[in-house]
Amino acid sequence: MQPFQLIIDCTTPDVLDALKTHCPAFARHVDQRLANDPSWQGSLYIQLEWAADWCNHLMRQQQDHWVKQTFALMSCAYLRADLTTKEAIDVGFVEHLFWQLPTAIKANYWPLCPPILQQLWVGFHGQHDWMR
């Protein structure tokens, strides 16, 4: 997998808006989910969980560019965020990342996951053999 240039602006105060702006397919994904249940509008935790679901989907589809962009955006946003947003990224995004993916996919994408997201993930899920 090749190095990449971050094209998503992580300086915006709204990490979800940044992801939606630069990844229209993710924006459509969120719009569809909100159409099914509008009560989740404004829920950062739930929408970050959807971002993790989306990232997992991208890994299954081997969409390396967008996986890298999503990882970079989330790690950058986490490092710049206030405590509330950090907690939402940790609980909503990181805890759902790699959920129910085959071991081979997890092992392939783990090295691309930024260290801060890896640290948060291991803090919740623990170490696994596929991380080597």
pLDDT (tens digit, 0 to 9) for every residue of the chain, 132 residues total? 444 444 455 555 578 888 888 788 888 988 898 888 888 777 788 889 999 999 999 999 999 988 998 998 899 889 888 898 899 999 999 999 999 999 999 999 999 999 999 999 999 998 888 776
Asked if residue 27 is part of any domain, the answer here is yes
Residue 26: predicted pLDDT: 86
What's the CA angle centered on 59, arms 54 and 64, to 5 degrees?
Answer: 110
Gap between the Cα atoms of 107 and 51, Å rounded = 20
**Boundaries of domain holding 77:** 15-131
pTM: 0.83
Residue 120: predicted pLDDT: 96
Residue 43: predicted pLDDT: 79
Residue 40: predicted pLDDT: 76
Asked if residue 97 is part of any domain, the answer here is yes
Q: Name the DSSP letter for residue 13.
A: S
| Contact of 128 with 84, CB cutoff 8 Å | no
Asked if residue 122 is part of any domain, the answer here is yes
Give the total number of structural domains in the chain.
1
Asked if residue 77 is part of any domain, the answer here is yes
Asked if residue 111 is part of any domain, the answer here is yes
Asked if residue 7 is part of any domain, the answer here is no
Residue with token string 């915006």: 12
Residue 96: predicted pLDDT: 96
Asked if residue 104 is part of any domain, the answer here is yes
Gap between the Cα atoms of 42 and 75, Å rounded = 21
Residue 132: predicted pLDDT: 67
Asked if residue 84 is part of any domain, the answer here is yes
